[in-house]
Amino acid sequence: MARDRERASFVAVRRFGLGARPGEIVALRDDPRGAVLAQLQPRAGLLASSDLPSTVEALRRYWVYIAEVKRLREAEPPKPMAAAAPNSPSTAAMSPMPAPMPASVPEQLHRGEFEARLDRQLSTTTPMVERLVNFWSNHFCVASRKGPMLRTVAGAYEREVVRPHVFGRFADMLSASAHHPAMLAYLDNNVSIGPSSKVGQRSKKGLNENLGREILELHTLGVEGGYSQADVTALSAALTGWGFAGMTAKSGEPGTFLFSPERHQPGPVRVLGKEYAQGGADQAEAIFEDLARHPATARHVARKLVRHFVGDQEPAGLVARLTRVFLDTDGDLRAVSSALVGSDEAWRAPPAKVLPPWDFLVATGRMLGIDWRFGEANRMLSLFGQPLWNVPFPSGWPDDDDAWAAPASLLELLDAVAALARRNAGDRNVPRLADETIGAFLHPETRRTIERAETPEIALTLLLMSPDFLRR
Amino acid sequence: MDPVLHSRRGVMTAMGTLVASAVIPRVSIAAPGRDPRFLFLFLRGGLDGLAAVAPVGDPHYEAARGGLDLARTGENAGIPLDGTFVLNPNMPFLGSLFRNGEAAIVHATASPYRERSHFDGQDVVESGLGGVGRVDSGWMNRLIGLLGSQERIGRHGGLAIGSSLPLLMHGPAPVVSWLPPGYPPVKEDLRMRLLDLYRGVDPKLAASYEKALELNRAVGGEASVEKVVAEAMKAEKPRGAALFRYSGLAAGNLMARDDGPRIATMSFVGWDTHAAEGPVGGALGRTLESLDAALEGLAHAMSPVWKDTVVVVATEFGRTVRMNGTAGSDHGTASVALVIGGGVKGGRVIGDWPGLGEADLYEKRDLRPTTDLRAVLKGVALDHLGVDRRRLAEIVFPDSASVDPLRGLLA
């Protein structure tokens, strides 16, 4: 019994956590499962600070910034320093002095948000909450590669769309996501125009199905969820007019959701066989409500959660059970998360998932007390292919067990870890560190390997590269 | 980070990261006796084509480009190409290839994309589609799918090395990727100890790790990395150039091998020159110098197979013709593409020159595109790799039936 609890305490900090901080195991030992369940409190996901501007404020600063950059660029080109004769060799060499550019607001805000998230996850005592934030942020991902506006608001998007709803209703997170300027811009809905709408008839522009399709394929029903192209087109038509007020908007506060009737495709739409009457923004909202409680959505979400937390080998029955909870509670994500944490299968299944780069950074930081700073953390994430809030595709980061164990990643990771160990090993007792943080999951062979290492630095390198540390 | 390794990675990110992806199919469609290799080098950020290859003979050039113009004579003069164009003086290696007839320049070329977003512009180039749309695979992957279908995939097939694959290479065909090292390599002994541990505890990690070691040896091993970094530190040239040369060397070493990849891509960033562009002595000048060094490294490593190699260099869009208020240029439309290799019929600047007069410009601000980038790529795929026209228009570049392959790029 004691051994089971011992093992469970390590499951708690790894499978349902962000890696153990020193002493974390001891605090969990009496009731690991209860300790994780106790983290799942309605407001536990929130992250706010006076340094972190809201979406509206971030966009206001962004627009001021781009207006200033535009003004500078459109200014009279600076004259070369000396009036050189035409064709003289000096014209090209004497680059004119450019006007000083203002500090980049997208970069400043990105950095502030990045550090706030990292600090939270390095120090949190409710790591399962943060794991769920990361999961849902990836489910409803946006990417700053779309452009500087996305980089400006991606952090605020996560704090305003994901964090408040991590233990709320799925429908509310879905709706919040689709109303947010970040998602509307990322998946082009702000440029989608109903062909028969006032603007559509005038401009001959039309539908952009990007958001409509991804809501069906990625956010709700899933790719095998039984929808057709006609459903995509219909949802996209219902979403026309969904945008946000810009800097010079005639109506609405800049940076907030704005429904524009002149862009909205008039008429009823039919999605999954059900007709939704002509309306304004409420037309798509009604579709969302139905999508959010559709059995395919429940199954899609349940399966994704199980694969994320347990592994590609889904324990039989667990997905079905979470699906049932999702449907019975109208998508109450606290109930669904609790069912996952409360399941015996999730506590029994062997470690499977290789840590993604973000989680690797956080886990090493928690284990060794490394206070990762933006520059180095950001560089590591880029190098290992997981820059924060910058997924390559709307489908989010890959989540297969071995997705982050590609050959060159491992070799490069070894080099990076060796550098990290050089700075952090000191005279640590690495075998004891392993016992305290990996414990019951430390393979005897791994333990022997690190015991045999001639220096703490080499021992720590091997420990951080060991399957026991890399898989959870 | 330690200072040394920090600067290695630091220089690379400052100058632009470089990722190479590669597949290793045996190309069997092309003519017997040939073993063609093809590399697509993607310049992300929007290359100022008028600063790379300057139309100094255009009567409107100086007036239109004032402040970003290259000199015709003197120490910063461009490298003469023909009666109209000079090459940026930071690219002497490309200049020598051009003189040897191994580099052709296609000017005023653009993908079908006509807006000005990097994100969408890169997606269009990478997807090979006729415009912005839903994308799940890249044209290079679909090309590989056609090439690999008749032959076994080489020993390394299915290997995915490195961080993230570019969209160009996404798709069902097996792809290998490789990333130049960013940290000093650990000692061989430590590597082997980890291999033993993986073999004993986690066979899946062991298999992946063994592939990494194998590929690492194929690239030339870590000794060369250390040497290059050491040389870069004392080099007179910008260190970025020396490191890019290394990346070119390493990718070239891999591609030149008998069992190496035949189709590969690399990306460079750092072309988004909105401010203080400095086409000769400034930021862009240094970036072009690095590109030239990467090409030199590549050509050097691939010299044994150079006659069967074609390298295409392209970007997502060009830049505004006129200099902006911050001594840079903004997102534009047409730019240049380079076609390089031992078998290329080079020494030519190809394409209808649209001119730089006020009325010639696209939307009164950009170089007007006269050659579709897909025509260049289709020409190479057809004449170098032997892919038939129908499949090029249907599979590799859908929506491109009306875009004729540019023929005659190869000698």
Q: In Å, how far is A187's CA from the nearest CA of chain B?
A: 10
**CA of A385: how far to CAs of A110, A253, A346, in Å?**
18, 37, 28
pLDDT digits (tens, 9 = 90+) for B354-395: 999 999 999 999 999 999 999 999 999 999 998 999 999 999
CB contact under 8 A, B215 and A407: yes
CA–CA dist B181, B195 (Å, integer) = 19
Q: Choose among A282, A253, A259: nearest CA to A55.
A: A253
Mean pLDDT across A303-310: 98
Contacts of B330 in chain A (CB under 8 A): 73
Burial per residue of B160-176, b for 16 or more beta-carbon CB atoms within 10 angstroms, e otherwise: bbbbbbbbbbbbebbbb
CA–CA dist B276, B280 (Å, integer) = 11
Residue with tokens 């340094």: A51
Q: At what angle do helices A170-179 and A281-292 cross, to 10 degrees?
A: 150
CB contact under 8 A, A72 and B325: yes
Q: Choose among A251, A288, A245, A281: nearest CA to A264.
A: A281
Of B72, B75, B325, the CB nearest to A99: B325
- Given a cut of 60, whether residue B32 has pLDDT beyond it is no
**CA of B321: how far to CAs of A37, A69, B132, in Å?**
61, 19, 24
pLDDT digits (tens, 9 = 90+) for A144-157: 988 899 999 999 99
- Given a cut of 90, whether residue B72 has pLDDT beyond it is no
Mutate to test the interface with A, among B79, B90, B190 (most CBs of A within 10 A): B190
Q: At what angle do helices A374-383 and A407-424 cross, to 10 degrees?
A: 160
CB contact under 8 A, B212 and A408: yes
Sequence letter at residue A42: P
Q: Choose among B182, B171, B253, B257: nearest CA to B219.
A: B253
CB contact under 8 A, B326 and A72: yes
Q: In Å, how far is A406's CA from the nearest CA of chain B?
A: 6
Burial per residue of A247-256, b for 16 or more beta-carbon CB atoms within 10 angstroms, e otherwise: eeeeeeebbb
C-beta separation of A137 from A11 below 8 A = no
CA–CA dist B191, B207 (Å, integer) = 14
Contacts of A376 in chain B (CB under 8 A): 1
* Closest residue in chain A to residue B1, using alpha carbons only: A419
pLDDT digits (tens, 9 = 90+) for A181-210: 999 999 989 999 999 999 999 988 888 888
ipTM of the complex: 0.91
* Closest residue in chain A to residue B200, using alpha carbons only: A445
Q: Choose among B18, B2, B39: nearest CA to B299.
A: B39
* Closest residue in chain B to residue A376, using alpha carbons only: B1
Q: In Å, how far is B161's CA from the nearest CA of chain A?
A: 4
Q: What is the pLDDT of residue B248?
A: 82
* Confidence tier at B231 by pLDDT (50, 70, 90): low
Residue with tokens 């490298």: B79
Token pair recorded at residue A219: 């956010």
pLDDT digits (tens, 9 = 90+) for A259-303: 999 999 999 999 999 999 999 999 999 999 999 999 999 999 999
Contacts of A68 in chain B (CB under 8 A): none
**Residues 6 or more apart whose Cβ sits within 8 Å of residue B143:** B263, B381, B385, B387, B396
Q: Choose among B409, B271, B291: nearest CA to B349.
A: B409
Please give the DSSP secondary-structure letter assigned to residue A163. Answer: G
CB contact under 8 A, A406 and B74: no
- Given a cut of 60, whether residue B337 has pLDDT beyond it is yes
CB contact under 8 A, A384 and B278: no
Sequence letter at residue B20: A
C-beta separation of B309 from B374 below 8 A = no
Burial per residue of B58-88, b for 16 or more beta-carbon CB atoms within 10 angstroms, e otherwise: beebeebbebbbbbbeeebbbbebeeebbbb
Query: ∠ CA(A146), CA(B145), CA(B214), 5° rounding?
Result: 85
